[in-house]
Structure 1
């Protein structure tokens, strides 16, 4: 086993929670506005909207459009507005026979008198929003809608709901612009049975939508989009110090209490943080999504009616088992040798790459090793990407292949085209391959084939390469490492197996406890590298470049092989061409 300074310790494989241990005892010390601490931009925009007196009072929020988000935004807006003086808006409709008159607002209990409330809805129909006129036994009845209850206050709606019903949006926009809501007949073919005075309207509007919905809104109504205030419900929090983590924990605690769950116990936080890092893919970033937090807490609560370490770990293990059928069946194919993956021995031109499998409709991705092979033969220097030729390789994969080839040609410093052709392929891959995370593995397989130096099959590789040989970060790292570890563990760990990853991916690690324990016991290894030439000694046992003038290295072996092939070709040429070649060289 080659031990290098790039080898990670078990402490590197999960977020370091011990340095924040004191935070967990301070969560309940004082009552604070947890939303303001984690969503300052949103809070500022809501406050600005509440104070806005001129222009069109519209706030666009980039966020999810489900009930949890809308309710949370509406609740915060209601808290901001609660400090305002109570006023009455709208009016009172007095109906005598077929005569309808509007009187000034005087009684807050009247259905058409608004008190400045905040209302929200994730889906609305015409009658639900604007109310309706009913005629029953020749008696007129006016029914209020959401807009009447929110009169004088704020209405929080899903943007896609209005985009799906453009006439609804046009009527709402016109009512806000005119400052009054006019009654309309539900049947366009028949007018209202009586004349009904328009209701004075004072309304602030918050529209929530994702980036695609906001882009569509800008395209359909560019003038109003330009006048609107914009903010975001931030999906994650950058953790730079203890105060940031404390704010996140208090936010999560408040989400639990709002859902009528008990406050989390002190030992609940470490496993929640590890799962949060897996969700965001970054040790310094934690999710703020209330739906994600509630799912973890509700499932933990179902395990034992408390939020503790044991209940959360039990919930996560149960969920993983429940969702693991497809991943287990595909791994069985490897263990039964229906998909050939070597985890022992040495092979020239063959390497274990790491990939992430995602199926539509399946709740989570999982990692699997992929056998990448390369063969070389005398030729004109063409590198054949079989996946691309078979139209199974995406554009990003093709780009990674070309970058990898450019780096190798530059390193060889050839004055003429490479006299070898190569063919690289993902073996037993029958679906589209995309992404550049396999370019480091493909480079190592190509170097192995050119130098005729075998690759250690006990080590898998992931990472992308730039034209200077720098190793760049990739996604799905935890799943990739755990996928290879599972295969090695099922076949029995040898103590020499492991994975090579980009050094800039260390911050993304939050591995399962099985992997952490195996690394701690030196039964599995993880190396983090910055450059492609650091991976080659680990895989082949030989350095890429030797500092000694005549030292043995992979680069020299490739150059010698090229020189030998050129000499063989020269010896088979007719003597006039050989003489001409000698003349050109001199």
Structure 2
């Protein structure tokens, strides 16, 4: 049995061991991804120097926003060798005749220097150039493909997928090494005949998983041949110097946006917020948009250095701005519109924990939900009400089936199981998905079968496998805080708490109110490894015990009585042998 009552120190990332690192004097230098993105940097180096016959396309999995494109652009610019030769063409228009010659000067209209350019969003003329008519005649204007000729062009996958005609024409230009002039208006041909021009260009395409997936469906062979890498979203903390690397990264971002210097007290405060975002005490986010937003917000609350206080003020203000929906949810519970019990003992009812995410809302919020189970004489079927009502998603259905499989294995019998039951999420009016409530549902089912009441001062979260092992779930911080807020509104009793998977302990980064309540012994967190560990906490009886009453023996006795058996005729050690195999 593994039941761990967590100490308050385990509810937050460890910042005490890094105190010396936070006190260092970090130099403000330009942001360089080399130290935080070794895979990306190595891939860019290879792409910039690879043989011309290799694929001219590179795929980078990253957020396709200007912040990411500009970082990659700066890295490519540093990697590209300096060139002094003139690349490109010169177009001349005389008496309605267009001629092309190789560029001899950087001032020629289609000359390029073989550098690197990027753009987050672009239109046809911006990418491919155009022919313009003036009163006195015509002129040709270059696009990005001409300006970056001989070098590298960085583009957003999302932009190209939104305008497929851009992508197909761009691919044809890159693979043929030749730029052909076409009209943008298919109903009107070019008024002049324009000679094509040689063009050598490499393309870096940046997109998220969904965008790259769509591109792969469109161009499976190109994706297979292209050089692929990723912008790593998080920095794994394996040693203390990794924290120093992250602090250096923060200072580079502050320098990039011309923000005040960071005081030593700012780092532990930023680390806690960062862990909250990553959802793991051993991983720190590297998203430039997220980190710059944190620093920019904090800078508004200081005239000199960014400190822990300015970060706390900015975070509190942000939470307050975004908490209207969360307050409404808590108000519904406080007013009894949503029924949640936090006192007493009830058979077949348990407090599950869920995370609500509303479309368009930036913040996920935790909410306890009442899961109930009723059992009656029947043919052994356990009905999932959510699934029957078509409100349960596939993952939820999978969790319920795994829960039933575990119970069937535990209660192995040579005769038909004499009970049927139903499990429901009470007051649930939308789709329920995920398997994080399977532990809570299993405990409610066991309570109904054994007729043993569950302590309503606990909430439970975690998924289970077919062997009863409790597994990791997501949104653990929001779930714990959602139940804590309900208990705190009703006054903490000192015996309330949350049961969670042991493997989720590393993901904890709870708000100060929860930490202080745990520290004062007013609220508790219990980390477990198996469903057997949850039952002594919830019901007050062990799951199996040969020498005293247990949950399993209560279920066995009820099954015998339901089947009309007379167990008193058997010797005590053999009374359950016809029904169960304990393995």
Distance of 1:23 and 1:258 partners within structure 2: 22
Inter-partner Cα distance in structure 2 for 1:39 and 1:544: 49
Question: Contact 1:300 / 1:307 at 8 angstroms: preserved in 2?
Answer: yes
Pairwise mapping of residues 469-508 of structure 1 onto structure 2 (< 5 A)?
A: 469-508=468-507
Where in structure 2 are the equivalents of 1:180-199 lying within 5 Å?
180-199=178-197
Cα distance, 1:27 vs. partner? 6.0
Report the secondary structure of 2:390's partner residue: coil
Partner of residue 573, structure 2: none
1:26 and 1:147 mapped to 2: Cα distance? 45
Q: How does 1:298-337 map to 2 (within 5 A)?
A: 298-305=296-303, 306-337=305-336
Residue in 2 aligned with 1:578? none
Is 2:554 aligned against 1:557?
yes
Which residue of the partner structure matches residue 218 of structure 2?
Answer: 220
Q: 1:243 maps to which residue?
A: 241
Cα distance in 1 for residues equivalent to 2:433 and 2:465: 17
- Cα drift, residue 568 of structure 1: 7.0
Which whole-Å deviations, capped at 9, do the CAs of 1:84-119 have from their partners, x for residues lacking one?
333220133344443443343332233421112211
Matched residue SS, 1:157: strand
Structure 2 unaligned residues grouped into runs of 5+: 568-577
State the SS of the aligned residue for 1:91. strand
Q: Name 1:529's counterpart in structure 2.
A: 528
In 1, the alpha carbon distance for the partners of 2:542 and 2:300 equals 55
The equivalent position to 2:154 in structure 1, one of 153, 156, 173, is 156
> Is the contact made by 2:3 and 2:529 (CA closer than 8 Å) also made in structure 1?
no
Could you tell me how far apart the structure 2 residues matched to 1:190 and 1:448 are? 77
Structure 1 residue 481: Cα displacement: 0.3
1:102 match: 100
Instruction: Compare 531-540 and 344-353 and name the one that shifted more.
Output: 344-353
* Structure 1 residues 129-528: aligned runs within 5 Å: 129-305=127-303, 306-528=305-527
The secondary structure found in structure 2 opposite 1:249 is: helix
Are the aligned partners of 1:89 and 1:201 in contact in 2 as well (CA < 8 Å)?
A: no
Shift of 1:34: 4.0
CA offsets 1:283-311 (integer angstroms, 9 cap, x no match): 11111111111111111112224422111
Q: Which of residues 563, 567, 571 in structure 2 aligns to 1:566? A: 563
**Residues 61-88 of structure 1: CA deviation (Å, up to 9, x unaligned):** 111111111111111111111x433322
* C-alpha distance in 2 between matches for 1:432 and 1:190: 52
Q: Secondary structure at the match of 1:372?
A: strand
Q: Is the 8 A contact 1:88 1:152 kept in 2?
A: no
Aligned-pair distance for 1:282? 1.1
TM-score normalized with structure 1 length: 0.92
Alpha-carbon contact 2:2-2:530 (below 8 Å) kept: no
Shift in Å, 1:547? 4.1
Q: Which runs of 5+ in 1 are unaligned?
A: 571-583
| Equivalent residue number for residue 581 of structure 1 | none
| Pair 1:15 & 2:7 matched | no
Deviations 1:188-237 (A, max 9, x none): 45544444333332222111122232233233233333332111111222
* Mapped contact 1:130–1:145 kept (Cα < 8 A): yes
Superposition RMSD in Å = 2.3
Q: Say which is worse superposed, 378-387 or 534-543, in terms of deviation.
A: 378-387
Alpha-carbon distance change, 327 to 30 in structure 1, aligned in 2, over 3 angstroms: closer
- Rate the CA distance shift 1:377–1:259 in 2: closer, same or farther, 3 A: same
8 A Cα contact 1:27 1:246, kept in partner? no
- Deviation by residue 1:3-36 (Cα, 9 ceiling, x = unmatched): 9951000000011111122222346159687411
Deviates more, 1:114-123 or 1:560-569: 560-569
Listed one character per residue, the Cα deviations across residues 469-494 of structure 1 (whole Å, up to 9, x for unaligned) are 11111111000000000010011101
1:577 maps to which residue? none
CA separation in 1, counterparts of 2:23 and 2:91? 57
- Work out whether residues 83 and 114 of structure 2, in 8 Å CA contact, stay in contact via their aligned partners in 1: no
Relative distance call for 1:565 and 1:155 in structure 2 (3 A) is same
Look up the SS of the partner of 2:333 in the other structure. helix
Summarize the Cα distance change of 1:416–1:140 in structure 2 as closer, same or farther, 3 Å threshold.
same
Q: Bigger shift: 483-492 or 463-472? A: 463-472
Q: Distance in 2 between matches of 1:324 and 1:244?
A: 34
**What is the CA deviation profile of residues 451-505 of structure 1, one whole-angstrom value per residue up to 9, with x for unaligned ones?**
2221111111111111111111111100000000001001110111000000001
Contact 1:34 1:250 survives alignment (8 Å):
no
| Partner SS state of residue 149, structure 2 | coil
Q: Please report how far the alpha carbon of residue 569 of structure 1 lies from its aligned counterpart in structure 2 after TM superposition.
A: 9.9
What is the alpha-carbon distance in structure 1 between the residues aligned to residue 165 and residue 427 of structure 2?
53
How many residue pairs match? The answer is: 568
TM-score by length of 2: 0.92
CA deviation map 1:120-150 (0-9, x unaligned): 1112222111211222123221212212221
- Give SS of 1:320's match: helix
Alignment deviations for residues 232-268 of structure 1 (CA, whole Å, 9 cap, x no partner): 1112222211222222222222122112222322111
Q: Which whole-Å CA distance do the structure 2 matches of 1:30 and 1:373 have between them?
A: 57
Q: Name whichever structure is richer in helix by fraction.
A: 1
Question: For 1:507, what is the secondary structure of its paired residue?
Answer: helix
User: 8 Å contact 1:345–1:456 — kept in the other structure?
Assistant: yes
Aligned mates of 1:535, 1:38 — CA distance in 2: 41
